[in-house]
Amino acid sequence: MAMVCQALTFLHQYWYEGLSAKKVSKTPVAVKIGVLSTAMINSAALFNPAASYAGAEVVAIASRDAETAKSTAKKYGIPKSYGSYEALLADPEVEAVYISLPNGLHGEWAIKSMRAGKHVLIEKPLCSNSQEARQIFQVASETSLVALEAFHWRFHPAAHAVKDLVEGGKYGRVTRTRARMVTPKNSIPGSDIRWKYLLGGGALMDETYTISSTRFFTQPTPDGITITSATARPWSKDPRVDAAMEASLSIQSTRGHVIDSTIYADLDQPNLAWVVPRVWELPAIEIELENAVVYFYNFMMPHLYHYIQIYDKRTKKTTYEKHYNFPSEPKTAQPWSTYRYQLEAFCNKIRGNKPHHWVTPEDSIQQMETIDSIYEKSGLGKRLPTAEVV
């Protein structure tokens, strides 16, 4: 389902961001961005958002195949292309790098990019494990550069509307959460990097939004997440890779109470009655509070479509909300994608301006610690960077 959402995002951005790009002139302080890899996600995550945003400009792209980089650059109107990642990092015009490489390579190239003086926007998951995450932010601190894990959904107005609802006190404290993300069976070819153990593939790594959303709405203490159970369904062609992962978490909230949470991620979900793909099952999280149950449908790509269902236990009434813009934005404002909001925050941070939201180093480290713990509890063991397992 994630791949379907991504395809729909291309259409959304063509309408809202692509069409408006003709009206946008880049500011003199626009952040000059280079891209490592020619991955399919680049268009949705960066090219289209940057086209409509005056504060960012994509100036270079690199691939290990020079012709691939050249053809991609031509397709998207990118001025420069390189046949190696090192060549792009040596380009003095490039100020920041978007890293959309396979998961197991994120850490290595984030560190190399910062050592070359570039800020980094790193696709989720940040890297292979929490040890590597700490290394990334240690280098960011040493170089005084910006490093951001690209959990784009958290920058969208809908995510903050739900967070305000949950933390506002009207419905009491959170008692339970259940996050779920699935991809219909056979949607992902066997050759895809999501199935490659050596590149950090697997359901939990790819669909780690389930953990991100759980943590975002429960506010764990720094050491407040305990994995009480974790069960992996190994991929039939490589038992080291999780085709699906289900886990139960006990979360100590910063508000002083314990929350029971479950997550389920599946890259190869069995069809209904063995025939019908469950294409309607978009990523969702259910948040139960003392006096209400909040259901956030399609939290990962809320710009496409979402709804927030609120069941009040006291009145027995159910209400619905949708939020495509922040309250501070004009009513006529365009409903930007999650990626566009994220790009603005990233560029604002680089230029010394306050972003409307941020994923902190501590946040990303705890995210990777949770992934480590789930893998270890499941018996698969925590992941290693590609350089250490090849």
**pLDDT of 15:** 53
Other CB atoms within a 10 A radius of the CB of residue 7 amount to: 12
Of 74, 124, 185, 313, which residue is the catalytic one?
124
Distance from C-alpha of 73 to C-alpha of 79, rounded to nearest angstrom:
7
Q: Does domain 154-337+359-378 have CATH number 1.10.3720.10?
A: no
pLDDT digits (tens, 9 = 90+) for 316-351: 999 999 999 999 888 778 899 999 999 999 999 999
Distance from C-alpha of 2 to C-alpha of 81, rounded to nearest angstrom:
29
Instruction: Check if 237 is active-site.
Output: no
Distance from C-alpha of 173 to C-alpha of 275, rounded to nearest angstrom:
41
Domain locations in the chain as residue ranges: 2-153, 154-337+359-378
For the chain, how far is it from start to end, CA to CA, in angstroms?
A: 30
Distance from C-alpha of 195 to C-alpha of 174, rounded to nearest angstrom:
35
Distance from C-alpha of 229 to C-alpha of 84, rounded to nearest angstrom:
43
pLDDT digits (tens, 9 = 90+) for 91-146: 999 999 999 999 999 999 999 999 999 999 999 999 999 999 999 999 999 999 99
Fold for 2-153, please state it.
Rossmann fold (3.40.50)
Domain 2-153 and domain 154-337+359-378, same fold? Reply is: no
Residues 6+ apart with CB under 8 A from 167: 219
Peptide bond into 92 cis (omega under 30): no
CA separation, residue 309 to residues 185, 193, 271 (Å): 28, 35, 26
pLDDT < 50 positions in the chain: 1-4, 6, 10, 14, 390
User: Reading across the β-sheet that carries 119-123, which strands appear in turn?
Assistant: 80-82, 56-62, 31-36, 96-99, 119-123, 147-150
- Count how many Cα atoms sit within 13 Å of the Cα of residue 248 in the half-sphere of its side chain: 5
Buried b (16+ CB within 10 A) or exposed e, 190-200: eeebbbbbbbb
**pLDDT of 371:** 98
